[in-house]
Chains A and B, each alone.
Chain A
Amino acid sequence: MFNPFTVAKRLREVGLVGLNSRNADYVLLHNQRKYYPRVDDKLLTKELALAAGLPVPDLYAVVREEHQIASLHEKLAPYPNFVVKPAHGSGGDGILVIHGRRGERYRRASGSFMTREEFQHHLSNGLSGLYSLGGQPDHLLVEYCVEFDPLFERVSYKGVPDIRIITFLGYPVMAMIRLPTRMSDGKANLHQGAIGVGIDIPSGITKRGVWGNEPVREHPDTEHSIVGLAIPRWPELLMIAARSYELSGLGYVGVDIVLDKNRGPMVLELNARPGLAIQIANGNGLRHRLDKIEALKKTGKLSADPAERIAFAQANFATT
């Protein structure tokens, strides 16, 4: 039976952080608004990451004005694969993944084709702010399309799986990998139908997954197990997550990282209000882990050294 009180009690025991709590206790208290542009504008994020020496996908072009769209077709000729992103897009809205061209037509990640006209309309929608927070006019990034690690070939449907790590005051606290499905149209966003798979922080091995709001063990399209996968170059991923604190200035931040076949982990974007589904994917609540870091803060033991922070995280944040 669904009894709200017992469910709420059980969720508190698990340590689930709800939306109100995330906003009131973490985002509002630890994320200063003046740093938001650093993560809301993906172009700025990319520049900051480059300056800090963190790997990012190459930038092919920036579209700021309507008239630049027309010339894009020629400008992008050398790159068969690329991704178009609105700089202020939220939740993966407006991201277009192109896998090659046939003359005037673009082939999308899903395999369907779009005409050059449709492609340009999509871009101009993006420019006018259709996908941006608050509908502000936006600029677009055209960047390197990641060739994902073969490890994930069997557990993703088109698109690029990415890894989300939540970092609190520089400590990586929880991680998951998001696997695109047929339903998500190759996108790695959970609310669009991607699968979230929780990753054990100490080992970098996937533990359990969630599709929608329900637990899953196999990829619904490829039927391969999504449990027990070891994420390659896991320590590097943790290092990127830990250093994103200094980079962004945000205390509570979600770091999205992709694993490229040739070039290893790269920062895709940062998120000042990371979603809560990561807790379902891990089957663990965030609260107990966040409390441990708050306790460090209270005793003044917060570390300024990313390596030390990672060591603390690996010692304390095993997925149960």
Chain B
Amino acid sequence: MKKTHLYVLAVLLIAAGLAAFFYKWKVLKFPLTPVEQAEVWEVQARVEFQPRNGANRVVLQIPLDPPGYSILDENFMARGYGMNTERSRDGRSREVQWTIRRARGTQALYYRATIYRDGVPAADTDRPQLQSPPELEEPFTSAAQSLLERVREHSVDSASFAAELLREFSSSTPSQEVTLLLQGRNGDHERARFATELLAIRNIAARVIQGLRLEETAAGELRPYLQVYDTDANEWRTLDVRTGSIGWPSDLFLWSKSGKPVLEIDGSPRARFDIRMQRSLVDSLKAAVDRLEVRDENLVAYSLLNLPLQTQDVYRILLMVPVGAFIMLILRNIVGIKTFGTFMPVLIAISFKWTSLLAGLTLFSLVVGLGLLVRFYMERLKLLLVPRLTAVLIVVVLIMALVSVVSNRLGLEVGLSIALFPMIIMTMTIERVSVAWDERGAGYAMKMAAGSLMIASLAYLVMSWPPLEHLMFVYPEVLLILLGFTLILGRYSGYRLTELSRFRALARPPGEG
């Protein structure tokens, strides 16, 4: 049957449109609304050191697929250095190696990255690897045993075990065992390393990662975090080394989980390492496009977003025309409002974009009204159709020029935008109104003109709604959905709303009236 064919086609179109829409929205993260802003950070790591004579080699751990973020752009600045980035053998971390044969004076090397927060970090499910337990001697062995025993009393699983251990470490009144064990182990990093070793005694896989808290302060600091493997959930749990609190801080940016020192310089000269960061709120549309370009997606290359800006502006308007036409379709075929010309109200609605609604209605009525006066006068001249239309067109242009000049003198800027009104549409409107006026009477003509203007106003209000405009431009595949619904409505054979009133005499019980 023809109808099923049509519905299948319509459903396919709608499904394709929806699928593309959801893909772009959920996966490619195109923004749904025009005001959405993305969190973009500029992070810069700077290494400064005094080189030794001869060859120098600097190895810096750098981020790789940080959870919850994507790296939009990164660059390395080191004048005169050979550079090489390399992934670790297990594929979990990445480092950059800078090398130079001869260097003089203070050296400064930079790593810069633009990162974008694109969601909640997913759980880390790297395979666990047990550290080797520490080689301790008495009395350290007993101290470790009794410390671990006490910690075990206060914990239920590997994460809480580690948390309790870290709390013991950083307690303001440390126990004897802790004082003994931590002798010579200063700093968060050392303590975290030591914690992983102690945990290995209890067969708990643990590791140290380096993270950066993205905060509004300009200077940042890489801090170690302890991660223990939760064998029940099969994922890594993260702990703050200082407080022992469990959980991935929402603003934590994973720098490296290699376990190696972040910065290694051959010969270990005196070096400074600092990190600066800056947050910028970027239009999330731009961020999405940048991100796609990083991923080398053709979607952007073949999308409207890559067109020259002027052309983009044109398409912003053009893509709204189908929406207006769809409204027309509903108002004409479902509601049953009569208009002059099929798409005339949509074209008028577009011209309202430059004038706003009220001014647009006024200007349009002014031009058509004056044009009608001239047209009625011309009726007496008995002109043929084409010369008459041409004459009306000339008059329309004259009226437009006149309105512009007068409103300019009066300082009404809005009057100038009348130049953007479609004069052919206005000419045809004048002709149609006057013919309808002659043949069906003034009332009918006015009713139809009012209907047309009403639909134009409605279409304008919908078409100029910024969220919709944005949606149509960023997600042009919505047009497929629109096309699908148009096809479905194309076979709508029910009553129009106005027909209910027109035929209401039929609805009365027979015999009456």
Contact = CB atoms under 8 A, between A and B. Distances in A.
A23 B505 CA distance: 22
A135 B435 CA distance: 12
Contact of B495 (A8, A118, A214, A283): A8
B394 interface: no
Interface string A10-22: 1100101011110
Interface string B93-124: 00000000000000000000000000000000
A24 B507 contact: no
What is the interface residue range for chain B against chain A?
Answer: 20 to 34
Contact of B496 (A19, A121, A124, A129): A19
B432 to A, nearest CB: 10
B435 A130 contact: yes
A18 B500 CA distance: 9
B434 to A, nearest CB: 11
Contacts of A125: 384-385
Contacts of A320: 510
A320 B513 CA distance: 15
Contact of B503 (A4, A130, A135, A280): A280
A25 B493 contact: yes
B497 A16 contact: no
A100 interface: no
Q: Tell me the dominant secondary structure on chain A's binding face.
A: helix
Interface string B475-513: 000000000000000011111110111111111001001
B233 interface: no
A7 B497 CA distance: 10
B500 A11 contact: yes
Given A14-B506, A16-B506, A117 B496 contact: no
Nearest to A210: B505
Given A130-B385, A130-B435, A320-B510, A20 B500 contact: no
Contacts of A14: 506-507
A242 B499 CA distance: 29
Contacts of B506: 11, 14, 16, 279-280, 283, 285
Given A4-B500, A19-B496, A117-B382, A24 B491 contact: yes
A20 B493 contact: yes
B196 interface: no
Interface string B436-457: 0001100000000000000000
A153 interface: no
A7 B440 contact: no
A8 B496 CA distance: 10
A117 B497 CA distance: 45
A217 B329 CA distance: 38
B386 interface: yes
A15 B495 CA distance: 11
A101 interface: no
Q: Tell me the dominant secondary structure on chain B's binding face.
A: helix
A105 to B, nearest CB: 16
A294 interface: no
What is the interface residue range for chain A against chain B?
Answer: 35 or more
B440 A21 contact: no
Nearest to A128: B385
Contacts, number: 83
A7 B504 contact: yes
Contacts of A118: 382
Given A125-B384, A125-B385, A210-B505, A4 B496 contact: no
Contact of A214 (B384, B386, B500, B505): B505
A130 B494 CA distance: 33
Given A8-B495, A21-B494, A130-B435, A16 B386 contact: no
A248 B439 CA distance: 29
B333 interface: yes
Contact of B499 (A18, A23, A121, A124): A18
A316 interface: no
B159 to A, nearest CB: 62
Contacts of A124: 384
Contact of B333 (A2, A20, A283): A20
Interface string B368-403: 000000000000001011100000000000000000
A55 interface: no
A2 B498 CA distance: 12
Nearest to A26: B493
A210 B333 CA distance: 25
A21 B385 contact: no
A125 B500 CA distance: 37
A149 interface: no
Interface string A47-91: 000000000000000000000000000000000000000000000
For the complex of A and B, list the 9 residue pairs with the smallest distance between their C-beta atoms, beginning with the closest.
A128-B385, A21-B493, A121-B382, A24-B493, A10-B507, A18-B495, A215-B513, A7-B500, A20-B493
23 contacts: A2-B504, A4-B500, A7-B500, A11-B506, A14-B507, A18-B499, A19-B336, A20-B333, A20-B492, A20-B494, A20-B496, A21-B493, A21-B494, A21-B495, A24-B492, A125-B385, A191-B440, A192-B439, A215-B505, A279-B503, A279-B506, A280-B503, A280-B506
Given A213-B504, A215-B505, 20 more contacts: A4-B497, A4-B500, A10-B507, A16-B499, A18-B493, A18-B495, A18-B499, A18-B503, A19-B499, A21-B495, A24-B491, A25-B493, A93-B439, A117-B382, A118-B382, A191-B440, A213-B502, A280-B505, A283-B506, A320-B510
